Structures are given as structure tokens and as C-alpha cells.
Structure 1
Amino acid sequence: MKTGKKVVILLEAVLAVLVLAAVVLMLQGKNGQDMVKVSVIIQNSDDTQWAAFKYGLKMAAEDQGIEVYIANTGETLTVEEEKSLIEWEISNGADAVIVRPVPEEGAEEMLKKFEKRIPVMLVGSTASKDRSLSALPVTESDNYAMGTALAEELLKDYNNSVEGKTIGIVSETGELESVMNREKGFRDRLLNTGIQILWSVTNRSGEPKENLPADQPEVNFVAALDNNSLTAAGEEAAANNLHGAIVYGIGHSTEAVYYLDTGNVKCLVVPDEFNIGYQSLTEISESLRRFFHKVQDKAVSHTVLRRETLFTKENQEIIFTMSQ
């Protein structure tokens, strides 16, 4: 091959590499000066239950040099409302989104369409009711394990002797994968123990309260599977509306800890919301900085809190993140 042709081929190869590099930079939405922006969409964004989650986002944003914007939302969101919010955030410069999926049909399909345009990370729950069929990455605690742990703590308090005891289950919704797996883990652990689950009710946030535990048949125990249900049950226990039922639950707010500390909740299982925020944003950052990096699932831990262990160093650190 003549030297001239070799030079031309070499130049073409160099140009191709430069063009590819330029395309990668454009697709990542960075020009070397603009800060990457990640928008976060969660229901009832000003609620105190998100304090630890937001603190984790803040710390990760500082570590990664990313701008984080948390969309202002009300107590409830529909699929269409969440879709409109994501569209709005993208039109206003969001390079990626972190989303708490709404408990409605069509959520998974809607979010998958956005994933073709920008990186998407779910938090707290998959959008699909069947976790094994979920096609979107999620950062969450092991919900089945948390439900199992909650039942385990109850059994531990009674030396596994709960034959003839009764229990009721309350949650905000039975449509989210997270709540479904928490309840499954809880029920599976109680199989063959002799305890009877008398009722399981839901009360979605922002809607009229029609299925309060106080309105259900009397039981020995109430198990609350999410933060709002737990604080509501704690409030009813404090008002002596539960007919002496002992409350066990899953929660992650200072209000939940308050009801634990006052004895109105016996045991609290706490998902690591700080790390849900930190890990979700860190993983999104990785995908924005490395073009060929696909956003991956991230698993975080949970902790069991008891009134008598609230003031250990480890647990005080957990409570600190809830108050930020």
C-alpha cells in the first residue's frame, strides 16, 4: 500500500475516534462547564419521612459534584402526573431522574419509555408488581426480608408462643411491589405458628381514611408495613383507640421513632433511607460519567430498633439522618 493511502486511512481513523468522543460527550449532556442535573420525584416530597433519603442525596451530590433538584409534589400522584413531571424536568435540563414509582397500572411501561432517553433509577420499590419481571433498576432495602424481620421480632417477644393470638395488617397500598413483598415475608414467617391474621387493610395517603385499625375487629397485634401506616397506628395507640393491641411496624421518620420511644410502638424495622438516597444518586452519576455504564440495582440494609436500644451510637447515627 502506498504511503499516501496509509496516511489517509490513519487520518480517517483519527477523525472517527474524535467524532465518537464528541458524540459521547454530547449524549452525556456535558460541555465541560455545566453541572450535571438529576431530578428526583417522590410523592409528598415535603413530608418528614423523606428526611434521611434527602440527606443521602445531598451528601452524594456533594461527593459527585452533581446538582440535585427535588420536584415539589402533593400527597398523591397518578401515572399521568408523574409522567408530566418527568417531561417537565427533562425540558428544564435534567440529565437523569430518580423516581419513586406510583402504585398504578402502566407505571412500568411509562418509565421504560423515559429510560430510552435518559438514565432512570427507581427508589424504594420496583414499578412492576413482580420484582423478577422488573426491567428498571431500583435502589431499595430487601422488602421481603424486612417483613420477615418484623414477624421474627414479634415471635421473639413471645418465645414463639403465639397460638390463638390475633393480628391485623395495615398499609398505604397493596399495589406496590415493596408492600406486597413486605406482607409476603411477614405472612410466610408466621405460617404454622398458630397466630391468626384477622384482617389486612389499606389506606392510601391523601385519600379519606376508611380502613383505620381502630375500625376493625379487635386484635392482639397490629403490623404496619410502611411509614405513614406506622405513624397513624402509633397515634391511634397513643389515643387508646386500638383496644390494647401492640403495634409492630416498618418506618423511617422521627415520628415513627417518637412512637417507639413513648412505648406506643413495640418494635420498628427501619430501611436505610440515607443510603437509598446516597447509592441511587451515586449510581446515576456513574452512568452519566461513563457512557457505556448501565444503571444497576443497588441493595441497602435495614435495622431493627427497640426502645431500649435507641441510644446506642449506631442507632443514634440512624436517627440523626432522619432529622436532617
Structure 2
Amino acid sequence: MKRTKKILLYVLMGFLLVIFSLLLLLTGERQEVKRKSISVIVDNSTSNRWTALKEGMEAAAKDYNLRLNYVSTVKLWSVTAELEMAAREMESGADGLILQMYASEGIGEKLEEIVPRDQCVLLETDITPEEYYQTVGPDNRKLGGVLAGQIRADYGESLQGKRVGIFCGNTGELSIRQRIQGLKEGLEDSEIQVVWELHEMGRTPDEAAENDCWETGADIVISLENDMTERAVDYLAENQDMLNQCKLYGIGNSEKVMYYLDRGFIRKLVVPNDFYMGYQSVEELAKKLEYRGESHKNIYTGYLVIDRTNLYDETNQKMLFPIVQ
């Protein structure tokens, strides 16, 4: 009799354990269903310049129990096309969007028809009027100023009379115009001679115009965004005699530009902290989705100034090549 009771007790305990396990499993599934989804739209989404950004986003998504969807894109050529992508994501059930806007002019009202401000964060560039949507990214005017400061520090008094060329990038973005402003303010009264500037507005790269710039010549070439910096080192790799004729200074954050910095193609590189930008953008949007009506205050992320002497410093390596465990 006692043995029978023990068997029944063991059977009951096993049954309860199974029920408890099933309840935990079902609860976990329900929690999985409730995870909010964030869609991310950036220019040329497969570019390795976004590696650190994505790692930062993944770290924040894990911390805040969010699901990320990276929308597959090539080079963004049209603000209309980008807004259509954003609309499709919201219609497909995205709870929020993180966007790197192709252009900044006059799109605030159009964007708000698609996604409310408390469901969206912008990367790198604000839209006009400024602070209409929250932006997470570097202080772009400061980046331009820092680059100018590095040039002045390297050349000192000998900067006077130097011929300078500027690869500006897509000046449809407010961020690029801010970088140009900071650069020119930083070089003011230096008595340099700007012999050419290349502005693109996001169109297909004009190789003929780029070649004309190089053939015009310059003692110092400045590139204000990653893609332009990559194209500059591509040209120098094919025309290495130019390395003795000019010095390249740039803004960039891809493995490619780090490689060419290490090889001596780039004199100084200003590197935005993309890991932090990725983490903060997801964190800010998580707060908006949770509490609705969070502050729209812009958040400025940091940067590094890298050259061949400090590229492999441990602290710099951690920021340049972060790995999410």
C-alpha cells in the first residue's frame, strides 16, 4: 500500500512538472510574440561601414527585448523611394523605424504622415526644421571642425597657400552641409586656396567629375563622408604617384578605409562612434515605444581621430571593431 502511494506521488509530481514546463514554454512564446519590432533603413545596407552600428543595435535590442529588421537597400537615390520603404514597413506591422534619410529638405510633414515622431529615430542627419524628429549621431559641424584642426596642426604656418580639394558627398543631407560648414570655419583665415569641391546630391557617382578633380590637382584632399573616402583611396590605389603629390584627410568608418589608413593612403581619419550611435538609437526608440512622449532631444555620439600611430591602440580597437558577445 505504501509503495502504491509512493508511485502515485511520483507520477503526480512528474505530471505537475510537465504542466509547469508547458506553462513556462507557453509564457515564453507569448513573450516572444509581444516583442516589439523595429525596422532599420540605411543607405546601402550591406556595406561594411554599418558593421559597428549593427553590433550596437543588436546589443540594445537584446537589452530591451526588441526584434530588429534590417531593410535591404542599395544606394538610396530618392527621398520618395525611401519614404515608400518606410510606409511599407509600418503597414507590415513595424512598431517603430530607425531611418538614415537620403535628404533633409521639407520632408517633416511627409514623414509624419507615415510614422509619428514617438515611433521614429533618425540616424546621423536631422531634417529641417531641426529637431522635428529626434536624431542620434555625431555633431557633424564638430566633425568638420575637428578635421580642419588636424590639418592645421599638421601643417602649421606652411598651410598658407596650399591648394585644397573637397569631396563633399551628398549635400542633400543636412549632416553633410554641417560638416562643410565646420570644415570651412576651422580653416578660416588659414589662407588656403580651395581649387575644387565635388557635391553629389546622392546621384550615381560621376566618375568623370571625380577624375577632373584629381587632374586639377591639390596639395590636400579632404573627404567628408565614408563613401567618398573609399572612392578617394580607390583612385589613389590605382594612381599611386598621386600619393607623393597630395595628402588625404577624411571622415570614415569602414574596414576598407582603416586598411588604407594603415597603408599610408590617408593622413588622418575622423571616425564617428557608430557602435554607440547604433545602441543609442535603439535605446531611445525603445523608451519612446514603452512610454510614448519621451523627449525628442537630439543625442550626439562621439568620434575618434585615427592615424597610423594610434590605429592599433587597445582603446581605439575596441571602438573601431566592437564585438557583441
Residue 178, structure 1, aligned to residue 175, structure 2: yes
Give the aligned partner of residue 49 of structure 1. 49
Alpha-carbon distance between aligned partners in 2 of 1:224 and 1:213, rounded to the nearest angstrom: 15
1:140 deviates by 1.0
Q: Where in structure 1 do 4 or more consecutive aligned residues deviate above 6 Å?
A: none
In structure 2, relative to structure 1, the CA distance for the partners of 1:296 and 1:182 (3 Å cut) is same
Query: Cα–Cα, structure 1 residues 293 and 118, in superposed 2: closer, same or farther, change >3 Å?
Result: closer
Instruction: Say which structure is richer in helix.
Output: 2
Say if 2:163 and 2:219, in contact at 8 Å, map to a contact too.
yes
Measured in 1, the distance between the counterparts of 2:109 and 2:239 equals: 44
Aligned residue for 2:322, secondary structure, equals helix
Which residue in the other structure is 2:259 paired with? 258
* CA RMSD, Structure 1 to Structure 2 (Å): 2.3
Deviation at 1:58, TM superposition (A): 0.7
Name the residue aligned to 1:65.
65
Q: Which amino acid aligns with 1:223?
A: I
Q: TM-score, normalised by structure 1?
A: 0.84
- Cross-structure match for 2:209: 211
Alpha-carbon shift at residue 92 of structure 1 (Å): 1.6
Deviation string for 1:217-253 (max 9, x for gaps)? 1110100000000111112222226472110000011
Matches within 5 A, 1:139-150: 139-150=136-147
CA separation in 2, counterparts of 1:283 and 1:261?
35
Shift of the 54–274 alpha-carbon distance from structure 1 to 2, 3 Å rule, reads same
* Closer, same or farther: CA 66–295 of 1 in aligned 2, 3 Å: farther
Segments of 5+ residues of structure 2 without an aligned counterpart are 1-29
In the TM superposition, 1:83-162 aligns within 5 A as: 83-103=83-103, 105-116=105-116, 119-128=119-128, 133-162=130-159
Classify the secondary structure of the residue corresponding to 1:235: helix
1:13: which partner in 2?
none
C-alpha distance after superposition, 1:233-290 (max 9, x if no partner) = 1122222264721100000111111111000010000011111110010000011111
Amino acid at match of 1:234: V
Give deviations 1:185-217, integer Å, cap 9, x for gaps. Answer: 111111111111111112436444332156441
Structure 2 counterpart SS, 1:194: coil
- SS of the equivalent of 2:222 reads strand
- The question of whether the paired residues in 2 share the 8 Å contact of 1:234 and 1:264 is answered with yes
Identity %: 27
The 1-side partners of 2:293 and 2:76 are apart by 35
Q: Aligned in 2, Cα 1:156/1:107: closer, same or farther, shift over 3 Å?
A: same
Following TM superposition, by how much is the alpha carbon of 1:110 offset from its aligned partner in structure 2, in angstroms? 1.9
Structure 1 gaps, min length 5? 1-29
Aligned residue pairs, count: 292
Is the contact made by 2:141 and 2:181 (CA closer than 8 Å) also made in structure 1? yes
DSSP 3-state at the match of 1:161: helix
